[in-house]
Structure 1
């Protein structure tokens, strides 16, 4: 471990590239596959599950379970190879979360998060350790294990600080890879592919942030829009629409309230499509109209979302 640490450079620049398939691989922390069997295999497996300590952070805790090399050996030789970490997000409950969420992140994703937060909140991040770039040995299992532990500690620290947790950089780290991919599919009118990705994003954010927080409500409304913009609503549309209406009860964030009328209009149309009684939604819209609030001829839910959080989807 010490030998690996002494080989690092002094800057915090991107560090995904692998030096050599045979450089620095050591035994002890994982079982290494033979070269011919390494394709799509993990090169580092967590030797033990992270110890579960209930309520050691506000809502969630983080565990890196595996690491693999991408692209697989022999594929796309024009791309420099890098390490992908399997990051699992668990809800803080009395017992271990039965439905954790998995995302994949690279060293550069963690580095970008760390450096952005350090620039924005230097006092809060001043004493936080982050593994530096190394010049050789990125295949080293000791190095991967050390980095995994550091990444977990970093995410635990961020989620335990209200200031850091609410930073746009942390939200971007958690969702942008998947959200941008989902929005690309929406732009291609491939809603059936986008919806499962958005569902996973929502479950992840909901484990970390409060039910009516801005990231959670934005993602939930985007999920409702994705489920309802096709001629035939997605099979999960009712579930997410009902949850969004419930979550919006008591919302005071004026910025988020611009989504409320488009959400009500979307749900009204969905209820009509499903043959459901939309009396309560209609009454709510009429009450708002009597107060001088414009409830017709406004933006669609997708358009309102785009004004708050522009992505790639067509509006």
Structure 2
């Protein structure tokens, strides 16, 4: 088709440059080889083809497109050149046969319909559980396999994946607790059985790795289970315990990694409204402040205050406000709004005569 278009254009230009009365020699001229024509017209052809298929993202536009008469070009946004739609060219020669035009229009409509269906049936973002490593651990009194599981958001590049390390007994305990509480919902959930021997062969470890991935994915697909304390604490409770212990010992740099991983885990699991999430933000703010990373500490305290905006009686609110006022002042920012909020709590008696500092509350917070 490209060769035919270019030939007609050259034929028209030649015809315009001939003196009147000279015979038309176009019919007797041999066509140029197709390869040479494509080399000459590649850029021009791509320019004409660009924008031929223009799919609107507006649903009202889609309805208007469906009502447009076939072949008018209105269903394509911008009408393509006549020679590409099979109409008459500038030299008046007829375009391709009607069947070819109808086939082209049909293909375009099929592509548009496929686009609409695929856009309307987009799969929501899912959470993937992937066992990336399995190590056999030998201790004095026991031998077990430690599975490293990454939590990754599907459908996008996950800049900060979160990970956990669990052994078979941890999975077994989670399975037992959930079956006790959600008997009917757990009826169709399979769990790898314990073996009397060959537990440490590569084949067994590989099969269990895949089984644990499917087990966690199945649990996460059930709303009543994925929001339960048993399921959530399986992922981040051990990180919170370790982070709290390290913070109490003054090992802030080591504690920071545990607080950050617990924060990422809760974010991916959608547990950002719980007391555990506020505890993670408190840990991050305290550790960053102790390491003289004031901007990071300020950001985490600010995030916590946004979550506590309508909870004046929450025990974390006054400690977070105190820390936020101090960090805001250290960074040279306007602290009047936070001070007024803290003063209002003190005037109403919600803050207490002397509320604990964020660090004091952090180390004294009981964890199950």
The two structures have a TM-score, normalised by structure 2, of: 0.60
Larger Rg computed on CA atoms: 2
> Paired residue for 2:306?
246
> Paired residue for 2:135?
68
Aligned partners of 1:91 and 1:208 also within 8 Å: no
Q: Secondary structure of 1:83's partner?
A: strand
> Paired residue for 1:55?
124
Aligned partners of 1:271 and 1:277 also within 8 Å: yes
Quickly say closer, same or farther: Cα 1:155–1:120, change in 2 above 3 A: same
Q: Secondary structure of 1:220's partner?
A: helix
Q: Secondary structure of 2:195's partner?
A: coil
Quickly say closer, same or farther: Cα 1:293–1:235, change in 2 above 3 A: closer
Whole-angstrom distance in 2 between the partners of 1:187 and 1:304: 11
> Paired residue for 1:173?
234
> Paired residue for 1:284?
341
Whole-angstrom distance in 1 between the partners of 2:309 and 2:222: 27
The two structures have a TM-score, normalised by structure 1, of: 0.69
208-217 or 198-207: bigger deviation? 208-217
Deviation at 1:119, TM superposition (A): 1.2
Instruction: Tell me the C-alpha RMSD between the 2 structures.
Output: 2.7
Residue 166 of structure 2 corresponds to residue 105 of structure 1: yes
Deviation at 1:201, TM superposition (A): 1.3
* Equivalent residue in structure 1 for 2:222, among 143, 152, 161: 161
Q: Secondary structure of 2:268's partner?
A: helix
Aligned partners of 1:212 and 1:251 also within 8 Å: no
Whole-angstrom distance in 1 between the partners of 2:344 and 2:263: 30
Residue 367 of structure 2 corresponds to residue 310 of structure 1: yes
Residue 253 of structure 2 corresponds to residue 192 of structure 1: yes
Quickly say closer, same or farther: Cα 1:285–1:265, change in 2 above 3 A: same
Residue 319 of structure 2 corresponds to residue 265 of structure 1: no
Whole-angstrom distance in 2 between the partners of 1:189 and 1:285: 28
Count of aligned positions: 247
Larger RCO of the pair (alpha carbons < 8 Å, separation 6+)? 1
Structure 2 residue ranges without an equivalent (≥5): 1-121
Higher share of residues assigned helix: 2
274-283 or 110-119: bigger deviation? 274-283
Deviation at 1:84, TM superposition (A): 1.1
Q: Secondary structure of 1:202's partner?
A: helix
Deviation at 1:65, TM superposition (A): 1.8
> Paired residue for 1:89?
151
Which 4+ stretches in 1 moved above 6 angstroms? none
Structure 1 residue ranges without an equivalent (≥5): 1-52
> Paired residue for 1:124?
185
